């Protein structure tokens, strides 16, 4: 007999649902006499195994209630099943041969939930779709194709879907797997001639979460196997979620027939987080680590890091370690934590970089920006540049004045105060400052 596919808790959950339905159809005396003593022992492959007190019960159940039980348990599990009945005293489950039961492994990270996911303008649609799928898997947006650059939260959303589905219904068999693992397991199945076991694993689940499909090997047999797996799950109305680092239209590695099938459902992208979302993520990560970080330090980290959300978590982890070592969290400590990022994602930001970036953004020369001219076309960009030097570099007012050809510190204070107040109420200025921070952080020439 095959190893059990469900835990005792899941089997109990399924049978209680079935009993509730059977009670509606079967007279109470018959229900109490013949249905209540039945126990669902196992669902392995396409076989549901039951035990009853004796042979007399088997005869009565198979004769009078077999079709009702089969119909209801198939409806509860959403799988085609055959039924087998055994006498309790003669039945020994395969799992009893093992010291511990064999449980279905979902490979889900329990920490990746919707509660721990920060929603912003960059991921709002993808998150809304993910929540809808978790509430109604197989019917809402199937398949779901989610794409975006690495480190933006695609994997988090996939795990959140799986965790929520299992929370809602612990009998659901949810499997998270990378395309690399899928390929390796398929190759291993061919090598050891266990193709049937491989297919049973992937085609008898309720939800398949396949991450990084761009790494699916461009071999005819691997893609063909996934094609048939996709069809089997889709036709059974089982949920399929796939992630990728590129849009579907640019995914040349896949055959046209696979691309077509992904287009049957919903396609959503996850974009780079904006400045506010990055600050919110940093706040959330700091809260999870139970550490307090001043807003100016969080602002500095958000301004000096790239788009990869994992980098933000890494910086918070380093700050947490520093606290354990008795250090105080300030701008200098944040700068030290940022040094560990790769050069591709972090570059040195100086007053010169800010001045150059602002001058390019407003299409004025650096000489005019630093001059004593007080035309409106120059004063506004100059004040913004001073504000950015203060907020991004934490420069003193006198030092900012020196960087701007000896401006008086009171002039600098006025400029910073003006922009600080206006950025809170002026949406256009807010967007301008946010865009400038992105350019300054990226190190790219405007």
3-state DSSP of 359-418:
HHHCCCCHHHHHCCCCCHHHHHHHHHHHHHHHHHHCCCHHHHHHHCCCCCHHHHHHHHHH
Separation between Cα atoms, residue 134 and residue 406, nearest integer Å: 60
Instruction: Check residue 35 and give its pLDDT.
Output: 94
Q: What is the DSSP string of 150-196?
A: TTSSHHHHHHHHHHHHHHH-TT--EEEEEHHHHHHHHHHHHHHT-HH
The predicted model scores a pTM of 0.57
The pLDDT tens digits along the chain (446 residues) read: 344 467 888 899 999 999 999 999 999 999 998 999 999 988 887 788 899 988 888 888 888 899 999 999 998 888 888 888 888 877 754 344 333 444 578 889 888 999 989 888 888 999 999 999 999 998 878 899 999 888 888 999 999 999 999 988 888 899 999 888 898 888 888 888 888 888 888 988 999 999 988 877 567 788 888 888 888 898 888 999 999 888 887 776 666 777 777 878 899 999 888 778 888 888 888 888 888 888 888 887 887 777 777 778 778 888 887 777 778 888 888 777 777 664 444 456 788 888 888 988 888 888 889 888 888 889 999 999 999 999 888 889 999 999 898 888 889 999 999 999 998 888 888 888 888 887 787 655 45
Determine the Cα–Cα distance for residues 50 and 326; give it in Å rounded to an integer: 61
pLDDT, position 37: 92
Residue 1 has a pLDDT of 38
pLDDT of residue 255: 65
In sequence order, what are the beta bridge partners of 39? 51
Answer positive or negative: Cα dihedral of 366, 371, 375, 379. positive
Pull the structure tokens for residue 95. Answer: 């799992």
């Amino acid at each position: 007999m095959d190893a059990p596919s469900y835990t005792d808790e899941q089997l109990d959950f399924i049978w209680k649902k079935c009993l509730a339905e059977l009670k509606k159809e079967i007279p109470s005396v018959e229900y109490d006499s013949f249905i209540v003593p039945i126990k669902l022992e196992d669902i392995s492959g396409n076989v549901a195994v039951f035990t009853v007190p004796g042979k007399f019960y088997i005869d009565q159940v198979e004769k009078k209630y077999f079709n009702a039980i089969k119909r209801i348990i198939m409806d509860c599990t959403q799988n085609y099943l055959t039924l087998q009945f055994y006498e309790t005293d003669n039945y020994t489950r395969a799992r009893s041969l093992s010291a511990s039961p064999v449980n279905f492994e979902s490979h889900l990270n329990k920490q990746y939930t919707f509660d721990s996911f920060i929603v912003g303008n960059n991921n709002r649609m993808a998150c809304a779709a993910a929540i809808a799928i978790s509430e109604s898997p197989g019917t809402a947006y199937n398949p779901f194709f989610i794409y975006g650059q690495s480190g933006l939260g695609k994997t988090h959303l996939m795990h959140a879907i799986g965790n929520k589905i299992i929370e809602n219904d612990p009998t659901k068999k949810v499997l998270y797997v990378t395309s690399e693992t899928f390929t390796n397991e398929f190759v291993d199945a061919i090598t050891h001639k266990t193709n049937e076991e491989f297919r049973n694993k992937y085609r008898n689940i309720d939800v398949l979460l396949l991450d990084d499909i761009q790494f699916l090997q461009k071999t005819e047999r691997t893609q063909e196997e996934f094609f048939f797996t996709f069809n089997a799950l889709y036709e059974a109305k089982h949920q399929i979620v796939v992630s990728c680092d590129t849009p579907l239209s640019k995914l040349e590695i896949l055959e046209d027939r696979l691309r077509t099938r992904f287009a049957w459902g919903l396609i959503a992208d996850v974009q780079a987080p904006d400045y506010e979302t990055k600050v919110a993520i940093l706040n959330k990560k700091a809260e999870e680590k139970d550490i307090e970080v001043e807003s100016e330090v969080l602002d500095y980290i958000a301004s000096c890091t790239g788009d990869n959300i994992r980098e933000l978590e890494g910086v918070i982890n380093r700050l947490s370690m520093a606290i354990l070592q008795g250090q105080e969290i300030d701008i200098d400590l944040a700068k030290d934590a940022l040094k560990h990022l790769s050069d591709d994602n972090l570059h040195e930001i100086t007053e010169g970089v800010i001045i150059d970036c602002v001058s390019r953004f407003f299409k004025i020369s650096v000489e005019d920006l630093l001059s004593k001219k007080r035309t409106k076309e120059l004063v506004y960009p100059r004040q913004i540049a001073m504000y950015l030097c203060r907020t991004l570099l934490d420069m003193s007012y006198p030092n900012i004045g020196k960087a701007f050809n000896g401006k008086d510190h009171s002039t600098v204070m006025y400029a910073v105060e003006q922009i600080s107040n206006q950025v809170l109420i002026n949406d256009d200025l807010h967007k301008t400052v946010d865009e400038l921070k992105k350019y300054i952080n990226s190190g790219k020439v405007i």
